[in-house]
Structure 1
Amino acid sequence: MTSFVKQFFLLSCFCLPCSLFAVGNADVLLRVGGKDVTKQEFELYCKHHLAGNCRTESVQNAFDDFLFQKLKSADMRRTGCDTLPAFRQYCKVMQGELLKTVMLDKEQEERACRDLYRQSVERLSKSGWVKMEQITCLLAQDATRQEENAARNRMDSIYTALKQGASFSAFSHQEEGGTWMPVVELLQEFTDQLASLAKGAFSKPFFSPLGIHIVKLTDSKPCISYEEARPYLIAYMDRLGAEHPALKRDVFARWTEGVLDDKNIQMRLETEEDALLASFWDKLHGESSPHEATSGELDNYFKQHKERYAWELPHFKGAVIRCSNKKMASRIKKYLKKSPSSQWAERLHKLAESDSTINTSIEVGLFQIGKNACVDKLAFKCGHLPEDKERPYAFLMGKKMKKGPEAYTDVLDAVKADYRREQEKEQLASLMQHFGVEIEQDVLKTVNCCGSN
């Protein structure tokens, strides 16, 4: 329900035609089918995809991905896919999200959100809070019997799939686990269903004035923290529209007059549209697209190109664990020692559940120096150990890795992306030939992907 209301707000308050934005004169990086693509657009793409990794090979890979995305989207625009109502609706919502970054003062929004939490926490917690996921098939109030039957059949099929073990999130398209909602704000039809569910269970399909739903109860509490309530409070303020307490009135006024000019928003919007069209292209060409790589293929590829994944900075592979004292740490180490690192978090969680005297936290992964204060202090002997009054003792399990990754799983995303590029070369070459791509190599050399000159 929250996402539906939020979408309505974005469409009604923050949507405008793309033509209101004017992209200024910029260096042309490439041409696809005669259409200019600017260097600035690629730099914006890098900003959101490289995450500060600006080595030459990383920039080249990013350019290949950027070019392929442009070619796929051009191919889909050629077929008219970008004019379909569903696609244009998605773009309007996406545009609203981008406009929020321009029209809302983030610091003021945070202050307003905290004030709202303090003012309303008692009222909202009157009947408690629930964390849930939902699958919804919307129906108009005047839906025909045929439309109602079609929706019922669709939800019955989903319910059958769920009972057979299908992922709830695959149908809800929400963050796994869902979001916290105050019970007092839910429709009665929802509260009736949730009241009879155990944690982790889902309902049968049921009707409400909005349509047909299936809900899954993830958790419930009498009261939740500000951090947990924040997504709900943000969505509530979004529904206020022009009365949003963090709205930049001067920017909003310019927008209503049709004179708002922000080329970054326009470029981001076009890049997002390209990404969506490219995903449609992938689905359409599924049979001819490269298959999902097996673990054996990825392992072989990694071994053949291992030097490509060497690290400039040392890493630590393992876990950061905090607990009450050294004695408890020794007990935890002994308990986890013979288990693979992939099971540490789950096993420690089960140990804490079975013994209420254990107060612990664990973070498992691959940590680059400078990314985790505990790892920096305990593994690399730099920085300061963060204080934690509840869990004052910190220790590590694992090892330092100075030379580079030992297995493809240490750099899984990078290996997958590189392997995919290798498999896509023929498709890329075919599209480049079809659209007559022109690349300005001199301009490409001047691309600034790190955000500094």
Structure 2
Amino acid sequence: MLFAGLLACASVSAQTDDPVIMIVNGEPVLRSEFEYSYNKNNSEGVIDKKNIEEYVDLFINYKLKVCAALDAKYDTLQSFKDEFAQYRNQQVRPAFVTDADVEKEARKIYDQTVEQIGPDGLIQCAHILLRANQQAPQAEWDAAKVRIDSVYKALKDGADFAELAKKVSQDPGSARQGGLLPFVQHGQLVKEFEDAAYALQPGEMSGIVQSPYGYHIILMKERKMLEPFEFHHDAILKFIEQRNMRDQIAEQKIGELAKSTNKSEAELLDEKAAELSAQDMEMKYLIQEYHDGLLLYEISNNLVWDKAAKDEAGLASFFKKNKKKYAWDKPRYKGMAYHVKVKEDVKAVADCVKKLPFDKWAEALRTTFNADSVIRIRVEKGIFKQGDNALVDSAVFKKDTTVTKVKDYPFDAVYGKVLKKGPEDYTDVRGLVVADYQEALEKEWVAQLRKRYAFEVKEEVLKTVNKH
């Protein structure tokens, strides 16, 4: 009895801490979910911010659309399942990786580096290079050899290595640093250079060394073994983060867990997602946001966005009913401004398109005049207002403006017609009509959903949003 009483108290406490703010299609929505959505969509930097009362309607519409998508079984589509799993798993995978796993990987990287470096350790050299191309004639190599002999003699006579490197070395990157190269290990230098360098002790200078790049003189600056793990610890951790190696660690760990538990990786990811959702409200709602957002996209695309864009008859009808909305304050010119190489083509271009629909002009002109390597015409096609095109302004709108001649196309012309009252049909303003038609379909759909599904808002709880 005591245990049951404690459970009841806990249940009441949970409801008090996070009460139901609305019920949509029989499903309770907690205040925390509404706050998560509202705060995320009205954060700093959001242009069209909403107050809580305005956002309630948007949130309800969102939930109703998700209900419709679930009823239509969009969540059973394999394409949806795959895409949702991909998004969700991106959030879940890192949770398999512990600090101990990262430390283990850091130690592994360090040990592998020590092994690669080997017993000869790291070296830092300075060098002077006089270049000779590997395929260059012998005379070029001979000339470079004479110059390097002179440099070597100067160094043996006491010239400062760094100063001489700055003046004569033809390796620009190191020359600016007095010939200094970074620390390297075996395998990072060409063999001829590496063999000569590793033979030197700090302070020793090589003789003249020939490599595929030319002639070098090498000065050993420092030799060392790799510092202890602790010295490089933070740098290795930074390297792991920069290379996104946590993903690799997670993949490896999930694979090992799958073998040891006889579970599939998908099952492990499902379990981890449920665990994280139970522990972290932000993660729970982020995963739900992915899930519902993908459903919303699919159903909205099918019923509104893509449907409107492809419904030519619907667009035409919508335009006809709302034609006054698209009227222009000033005339437009529906046609083209074009430039041709020969005068005869001025008429030929007009004859080519005069019996064709406007949207067929471009293809007809391309195949007739610009089908081969010789481009006979330059064309700008569209619906022009004053100021859009200098040739149209001059030839059609009779404005005093300068028309810049197109090189190699001396003959200018226009073809089309002036639309004084507004567009002829929806294709003249297709982008605007599509957007408005989509908006109309959206409103009609939402109205239907609000009749189809029941919803209730707890006004008293709504007043406590972000105030508890």
TM bucket normalised to smaller: 0.3 to 0.5
Higher relative contact order (CA 8 A, sep 6+): 1
Larger radius of gyration: 2
User: Greater helix share, 1 or 2?
Assistant: 2
> What is the TM-score normalised by the length of structure 2?
0.35
> What is the TM-score normalised by the length of structure 1?
0.36
